[in-house]
Amino acid sequence: MFRTIPPGAPACTVAAPSAPSASSPSRDGRGSLHALLLIGLGLALPALTACAAPTDVPAASAPRATASPKAAATPGGRTAVSKAAAAMPATRALPPVLVHKSPTCGCCTGWVEHMRKAGFTVQVDEREDLEPVKKRLGVPLGKGSCHTAEIAGLVIEGHVPAADIKRLLAERGDARGLVLPGMPLGSPGMEVPDGRVQRYTVERIEADGRTTPFATHGQ
């Protein structure tokens, strides 16, 4: 009744029912023939349905990639900066410094250069008599040095390291300034060839004029 599928034939090829022979009954055998045709069609329908099924998986069924929360890379290979980060304000500029010094003081000039290297803008006022300046700014008695500076309403007396001044500007409080009595070897502007640093203590001037230890340097 059905043709045999030869080896190598496409899997979706279905054999068609053969025509009835001349010896097949014309009327009495019609019921049997119809039954056989229906059975043949029932066997062929699953194969035809399988052939009609799509072979490609729909794109919607594939797992969808999610965007990484990290910043995307720019064409140049650099990580893109968020607008919020780009809008952050720059670091506040350091306040200017006014230094009162003698015209012939070499170590005072060295301290001025130290401050400039630390990022400060420094203006120099050269004068022979510094006592009126020290008195006006409230430098404590016995705590004087070779030069006196003014910065943001504070008094800085002597070879105070720039790092200590930046720290005081950040902390501030009710301090009136910093003092470093004398001229210790190795302090900024008083460097020596062998790099030795004499132990010294920078003092903080309190609101009432007292001084308290602020930072110690050297050995």
Higher pLDDT, 84 or 210: 210
pLDDT above 70 (res 66): no
pLDDT > 70? residue 75: no
Q: Residue 186 and residue 217: Cα distance in Å, rounded?
A: 9
What is the pLDDT, as a whole number, of residue 145? 97
pLDDT at position 202 is: 98
CA angle 80, 84, 86 (to 5 degrees): 60
CB 132 within 8 A of CB 83: no
Q: How confident is the model at residue 154 (pLDDT cuts 50, 70, 90)?
A: very high
33, pLDDT greater than 90 = no
**What is the reported pTM?**
0.59
Biggest CA–CA distance in the chain, Å, is 144
20 burial level (CB within 10 Å; 0-12, 13-18, 19+): middle
Place of tokens 């000039």: 109
Average pLDDT over residues 161-183: 96
> Which amino acid, residue 64?
R
Q: Which tens digit of pLDDT belongs to each residue from 118-142?
A: 999 999 999 999 999 999 999 999 9
- End-to-end CA separation in angstroms for the chain: 112
